[in-house]
Structure 1
Amino acid sequence: MSIFSELGVRTIINCKGPSTRLSGGFLAPEVAAAMREAGEHCVDIAEMHAQAGLFLAGVTGAEAAMVTSGAAAGLLLGTAACMTGLDPGRMARLPDTAGMPDEVIMVRSQRNFYDHAVRTTGARIVEVGLPDRYAGAGVRDAEPWEIADAITPRTAAILYVQSGSARPPLPDVVRVAHAANIPVIVDAAGSLPPAGNLKRFIAEGADLVTFSGGKAIGGPQASGILAGRRDLIMAAILQNLDLDIYWKQWTPPPSMIDKSRLRGAPPHGIGRPCKVGKETIAGLVVALKRFLAESDQARAERYLKITQALQRALGTPDHARVTVGGGLVPKLELHLAPGAPRTALELCIELEKGDPAVFADPSRVESGIISFSPMCCREEDAPRIAARVLPLLRY
């Protein structure tokens, strides 16, 4: 009996992509094997963090890096690091921000649910810019001078959420931030592929960047990467590790923590609930090596085979038109006709109820479009998906 049967949990066909609410994607056998091996031994977790961090720093082009329990954990830890620096007293006080910079500037059009991780530290978000281009009132969004105008002695950091439509361009944000000695944190959680983005944001001047490890990289779902300046990564890991140890006994790995720069060890920090186990570190490292070994083109071709299999299985459905997109993650889109028996959202809901349960991407249902991502599907899933979709499009 499988663990899912034992627990009474149904397995699903995930056409949404590596979304946490759908448990992410699949672990490659090598990744699962590394996690199992890690679980069979004990290590000094700081030493494992440090060695993995050296590898991640090389991959990202950063001075230092660490494994996190997800990209949102990276936002929390990165924000805390920018607020406290290497001051153990400040680390001990968070989320009480008295006596330290506690404002994080964000472009208003980049606000999202995940910036709650920033506010968890006690930081206050300062919004700038009017997103007229989204409101339909014009073409403008926030501009570099508005970010510069919002910087005060209370500014701890600027948070930049990477997307294809983000404004202003990151180099412009970095320019005004660094002119005032303010660090820039980039949320690049879903910015892979292309693999080149692993180094892009540090190269463009970001002080910290956070990635998800459980999406395109294929690591454990609750994993991520935080990379950037050595002092900020040191401040972040200090607020994440178990530090229940005597000062004289404590010999942290110098590649990650320079003990000589500290006047004492902080107590367990605000990032302690974001702890990372040895299994997660091992799984992420192996997954990242696999991700880098496959070219963007080869990955896109692998995804396209899955999408084309679904296209063939669907054929010419009633009351809908099928299209296949391009790019690094080619997706299938189902465009419902005005006379379809169900709306796009209703179709999504029905697909989720059935057996097998099929979870599609509902992000464009208001336009009558349902997307099917290949990232968490297998080629053999195509006939089963089609067998669920086609009857629901008939009267």
Structure 2
Amino acid sequence: MKLYEELGVTPVLNAAGPVTRYGGSVLSERVLAAMAEATRSFVRLDELQLAAGRKLAEWTGAEAGYVTTGAAAGLTLGAAAILAGSDVVRMEKLPDTSGMPNRFILQRVHLSDYDCAIRASGARLLPIDCEEDWPPERVAEEVGKAAREGACGAVYVFRTGDRGMPLEVWVQACHRFGLPVLVDASVRLPPVDNLRRIPGSGADLVAFSGGKAIQGPQNTGFLVGRRDLIESVLLQNQDMDVNAETWFLRKWIEEGRISRPPRNGIGRGFKVSKEGVIGLLVALEEYLARDHKADLMAWRRRVDEVCLGLRDLQACRVERAMQPGGSYPVPAAVLRLTEKSRLTLSEFVNACARLPRP
């Protein structure tokens, strides 16, 4: 592509799927057209987010939703909503959580490199040990101990596969002690059924990625769940330059839901453009309407083409396989080095990277 060439950037063949380091996914023509149309008009972003939230709620079965700048931002904002609720003073204080409940419990097996997204809100993580064969009462006992240590919320992470307690058992135990549950479901699509199944588990907030399987803009995602917590997210993304008497959400003050507009919020650095909101909605609408069985067959055909093209290599062999991908096995071409290669896998990858590209 000429734009990349002018910058001295070389496009690559993406054999890893819709991962962030290669730019996520490729947007459809309809998504691109919708984003181009969206950029031609000005709108109130809070009004746009409320409207988008209603569509997300309709599609997921949740009470409300909010478009975020990716799933990681959804985790930060979700944790911030649990920490602050409708308390404007707390909103303005975050990520400083001194003097307020700030501990979030999670199963130790769910600790990951993405914990920073939750800790960025000011939350402190409190891992607890849970064995997969424990009965629900034993899980509740451990959760209760953590709750008495000052926990104010809980986290459930799907990224580590199906290790640990099932989501429904975890939610039930946490709710028993008044702990809202924030779920990282960034890599749980496909299958498409998870869009409703995970929010339907009773979890209070669920963060999804928009730039992976959904094929929306790479810098988008969405958060769905309890209406009061989503409203807190909206408020913590609020533009600081507002007048309470003319504010779009002044009705919330009149109804006693909040005391005044927050003057600053942790979400300021996570603002989503109008083009991003529209692009995500159109991509999600397309994802829901897609023939997912046909997608799987298309992936298999691509794998067959790769295997056919590499079959004559002397230093390696290529095999068809079903690789675990989040919650959904995906077809893959697996390249295995033979003794003839005389290279380690890392050496082989680095050697390929140095080859001239057409």
Q: TM-score, normalised by structure 1?
A: 0.83
Counterpart of 1:7? 7
The 8 Å contact of residues 314 and 340 in structure 2, kept in 1 or not, is answered as no
The 8 Å contact of residues 318 and 334 in structure 2, kept in 1 or not, is answered as yes
Describe the SS at the equivalent of 1:325. Answer: strand
Which whole-Å CA distance do the structure 2 matches of 1:125 and 1:259 have between them?
A: 36
Post-superposition offset of 1:348: 2.0
Counterpart of 1:169? 166
Residue correspondence of structure 1 range 131-142 to structure 2 within 5 A: none
Counterpart of 2:239? 242
Counterpart of 1:94? 94
**Among the aligned pairs, what percent are the same residue?**
39
Counterpart of 1:119? 119
1:345 aligns with 2:341: no
Counterpart of 1:148? 144
Which whole-Å CA distance do the structure 2 matches of 1:253 and 1:17 have between them?
A: 44
Residue correspondence of structure 1 range 221-300 to structure 2 within 5 A: 221-252=218-249, 260=255, 261-300=257-296
1:157 aligns with 2:153: yes
Residue correspondence of structure 1 range 58-69 to structure 2 within 5 A: 58-69=58-69
Post-superposition offset of 1:328: 5.0
Which whole-Å CA distance do the structure 1 matches of 2:265 and 2:35 have between them?
A: 26
Which whole-Å CA distance do the structure 2 matches of 1:17 and 1:119 have between them?
A: 28
Q: Mean alpha-carbon deviation: is it higher for 26-35 or for 142-151?
A: 142-151
Counterpart of 1:205? 202
Aligned-partner residue type, residue 329 of structure 1? V
Post-superposition offset of 1:68: 0.1
Counterpart of 1:381? none
Which whole-Å CA distance do the structure 1 matches of 2:338 and 2:146 have between them?
A: 48
The 8 Å contact of residues 318 and 335 in structure 2, kept in 1 or not, is answered as yes
The 8 Å contact of residues 101 and 153 in structure 1, kept in 2 or not, is answered as no
Counterpart of 1:319? 315
Q: Mean alpha-carbon deviation: is it higher for 245-254 or for 216-225?
A: 245-254
1:331 aligns with 2:328: no
Which whole-Å CA distance do the structure 1 matches of 2:6 and 2:28 have between them?
A: 23
The 8 Å contact of residues 50 and 253 in structure 1, kept in 2 or not, is answered as no
Aligned in 2, Cα 1:237/1:354: closer, same or farther, shift over 3 Å?
A: farther
Which whole-Å CA distance do the structure 2 matches of 1:258 and 1:336 have between them?
A: 65
What is the alpha-carbon root mean square deviation over aligned residues? 2.3
Which whole-Å CA distance do the structure 2 matches of 1:91 and 1:148 have between them?
A: 27
Describe the SS at the equivalent of 1:219. Answer: coil
Which whole-Å CA distance do the structure 2 matches of 1:243 and 1:196 have between them?
A: 38
The 8 Å contact of residues 244 and 260 in structure 2, kept in 1 or not, is answered as yes
Deviations along 1:92-135, one digit per CA (max 9) or x if unpaired, are 1112213422001121111112110111111111111178x9xx
Q: TM-score, normalised by structure 2?
A: 0.91
Describe the SS at the equivalent of 2:25. Answer: coil
Which whole-Å CA distance do the structure 1 matches of 2:88 and 2:22 have between them?
A: 38
Q: Mean alpha-carbon deviation: is it higher for 92-101 or for 320-329?
A: 320-329
Post-superposition offset of 1:303: 1.4
Which whole-Å CA distance do the structure 2 matches of 1:232 and 1:250 have between them?
A: 20
Post-superposition offset of 1:316: 4.2
Aligned-partner residue type, residue 313 of structure 1? G
Which whole-Å CA distance do the structure 2 matches of 1:209 and 1:259 have between them?
A: 30
Counterpart of 1:38? 38
Aligned length: 349
Which whole-Å CA distance do the structure 1 matches of 2:285 and 2:10 have between them?
A: 31
2:176 to 176, 179, 184: 179
Which whole-Å CA distance do the structure 2 matches of 1:117 and 1:228 have between them?
A: 18
Post-superposition offset of 1:282: 0.9
The 8 Å contact of residues 84 and 100 in structure 1, kept in 2 or not, is answered as no
